[in-house]
Amino acid sequence: MSDPSSLPHQPPPRTSGYYIAFFLVALVWSLTPLSWAYILWCLYAPPSAVGQVLLIWAVLEAAFSIYHAHLARSIQPLRPNTPDDIVTLRQSFIRVLQAGLAPAPALQKGDLARPESPMEHVERLEKDDHRAVDFRQRIRTWFRKAPWDEITRESMLTWLAWSCFDLPLADCLASSVRRTLLYEALELIERRSGTIFPEGPMTVVPLRLTMDPIAVWGRPLVMYAVVGLLSYSFRVWYQVQHGFQVRRFGEIDYLLRIPEGWTPALGQQARHAPVVLFHGLGIGLMQYKNLLHDLASSLPDHPLLIPLQPHISQDILHPQHLAPPGRKETVSSLKTAIDALSFGPDSSGQGGVVFLSHSNGTIAHAWMMKDHPTLLRRSCFVDPVTFCLWEGDVCYNFVYRTPSCAMELLMWYFVGSELGVANALQRHFVWSSNILWYEEIRHARDPAKFVVLLGGKDVIVDTERVKRYLCANGVREGCVFDQEGRHGSALLRDEKGLRTVVDWVKGEWKPE
């Protein structure tokens, strides 16, 4: 059989839309150098009255560019993350190697609880075994999709040192415990891939998300000002129009609405259940106006709780813009909020919160499911990035890929290379903690309590792989796949996905 893992990666050609998007990006980016040029021009030619106004703007943009460059430089130093303990790391790594090894467990009638997956032995596969070929093809994404035969022993150990411990290889080899785990992992990868890594220098440099230099591209002050003004106006509108208020629990601010007359006793009923929404990367709640409007209008009897996330919302003046809360802070804060508001289940375990998340927000959703599963009555994941994270597609597509179409370029400049987003992803991301394994999903096989929405044309997530992983473990009716869907399109006005999300939260959705 052919071996795609041995072939060089051929990036797709640039589309015509790429050049249109490039013009838009260049237009926005150029405001800063044009401001500097105008200041220099005014030194030689005194400006008119209108020109003086433009000069004030140019000076503000120039001063902001210096401040922005300072912030971009300040986040470059490595920030040691706290990896999982050795036992958890080993278990996670074994799960990665077992994925796709054995046939899916049979789905028994009525088997809707939180199941356990079989712990197959990681056998040594033949090189041409389709499971070994598939594994090599996926893992080489972490090596910039280089041919597998070019990945040396040192390259793989360097990647393992980062992925397991967030450390350089030399630091790991200096510890006997870490060194033992690295070589054990290396042997298991050789078994699973059906190959032996060659000796020699590191010719292929692996992707090390939290250790590589952070790619931050400048943007003008006016862009942050417009986003900030729109976000503030949006928040005020929802406070006035839908009765939301801003509350702080722990270290996080929330947008909260509690219907008049609602009580914790009512909250145990499905038609009054509290709903928590975790949004994704971008410009905050502004990009979720359709979803929020429909939720606020269609769920008048449900409390709504929305964590505000300035670190991924381009809120550059917020103290947490470059200090994102980690797993411990996020989970603790939300647990505090749920307890203070009496949103949790009663003493008999009945009730709880309906969780809804999108894109990067699915990571915080996964943290809650791992740490406090009994709080989650039902869960809806839209465009999730928390499944199959070991395969590297999310990391490669969002941070390292060279854009070839309009959507990729716009997403890269306006979202991925923004200061707060880049800092959150490239200095505070712990992949082993952010993965949600099938065994950790609460009510995984019950579509009334767990549903995932995927788009076939998602440019960030390899949704075919996620679908295969979930369906292989029995998540079938709860895996909603839109062949024409793109990342985020399920939340757009008049899209089928948005109706599905709202109907599911209301408890009115039925699998097709």
SS (H, E, C) 215-239: CCCCCCHHHHHHHHHHHHHHHHHHH
Angle between helices 176-193 and 153-165 (to 10 degrees): 120
Q: Which segments of the chain have a pLDDT < 70?
A: 1, 81-84, 102-121
How would you write 281-293 as a 3-class SS string? CCCHHHHHHHHHH
Residue 106: per-residue pLDDT:
44
Q: Collect all residues with Cβ–Cβ distance below 8 Å to 448 and sequence separation of at least 6.
A: 378, 507
Pair 418, 360: CB distance under 8 Å: no
* pLDDT for 67: 97
| DSSP 8-state code for residue 52 | H
The confidence score (pLDDT) of residue 27 equals: 96
pLDDT at res. 92: 81
Q: What pLDDT does residue 84 have?
A: 63
CA distance 391 to 113: 27
The answer to whether 419 and 446 have CB atoms below 8 angstroms apart is no
Q: What is the pLDDT of residue 121?
A: 65
C-alpha to C-alpha distance for 412 and 407, rounded to whole angstroms: 8
Q: Where are the domains of the chain?
A: 79-193, 244-506
pLDDT at 37: 96
What is the token pair recorded at 381? Answer: 């994941």
Rounded Cα–Cα distance for residues 61 and 507 (Å):
49
Q: Which residues of 87-100 are buried (b: 16+ CB within 10 A; e: fewer)?
A: eebbebbbbbbbbb
CATH of 244-506, picked from 3.40.50.1820, 3.30.70.270, 3.40.50.300, 1.20.210.10, is 3.40.50.1820
pLDDT for 83 equals 61
What integer pLDDT is reported at residue 493 of this predicted model? Answer: 75
Kindly tell me the sign of the dihedral angle through the C-alpha atoms of 425, 423, 178, 174.
positive
Query: Of all residues in the chain, what percent are helix, strand and coil, respectively (each to 5)?
Result: 50, 10, 40
- Output the pLDDT for position 104: 42
pLDDT given for residue 79 in this prediction: 79
In this prediction, residue 486 carries a pLDDT of 92
pLDDT for 341: 96
